[in-house]
Amino acid sequence: MQGAKTQYYTAASLDGFIATKDDSLDWLLQFTTGAGDSYETFIRDVGAIAMGSATYEWLLRNHLRLDSDKPQPWPYDIPSWVFTSRQRRPVPGADVRFVAGDVAPVHRQMAEIAAGRNVWVAGGGELAGQFYDAGLLDELIVQVTSVTLGAGKPLFPRAIQSPALKLTSVVRYGDAFAELRYELPRPGR
């Protein structure tokens, strides 16, 4: 791995949404996960995860299902930070830290704990935008899929026009996904 980066890695509809208005990802779940994408390679280089409260709550409801007969374990074996303004239900045995406020001091802690590995901003778009606003976001990796939602939670609710993002890679995965990698502009870069 070259230098550690802070990366926003996500999937989006063709019209630029990462979730519906009510935070549903059902549109994405119709596709086979883990087959023919870059996730396994990507996650190997990640040492810390940042996510917003909607992403965390979606994981609790749709993946872990802690109140079901067969709850699932937390999907990550690396430390995760959940940015939230409210009290959240912890996951037993998981290294999940609840934080609020400015992303910059939390990012310093995340980078230190990641120890030379990447920091993954897992979602949502507004949280990724806060990392960008603080000059901390290096790369946007988006797997654009072959559906449109018409409305929903935007991929990246920031205007970046000049200098524009720098496209560094395009990869096709099957007949539904195109992965786009962009380097984000920073002052002095």
CATH of the domain at 88: 3.40.430.10
pTM here?
Answer: 0.93
Alpha-carbon distances of 160 from 72, 105, 154, rounded to whole Å: 39, 24, 14
Residue 146 pLDDT greater than 70, yes or no: yes
Could you tell me if residue 135 is inside a domain?
A: yes
Could you tell me if residue 60 is inside a domain?
A: yes
* Residue 165 lies in domain: 6-183
Query: Into how many domains does the chain fold?
Result: 1
Residue 122 pLDDT greater than 80, yes or no: yes
Could you tell me if residue 188 is inside a domain?
A: no
Tell me if 12 sits within 8 A of 127, measured CB to CB.
no
pLDDT digits (tens, 9 = 90+) for 19-34: 999 999 989 988 865 5
Could you tell me if residue 1 is inside a domain?
A: no
Could you tell me if residue 189 is inside a domain?
A: no
pLDDT digits (tens, 9 = 90+) for 26-70: 899 888 655 567 999 999 999 999 999 999 999 999 889 888 888
Could you tell me if residue 110 is inside a domain?
A: yes
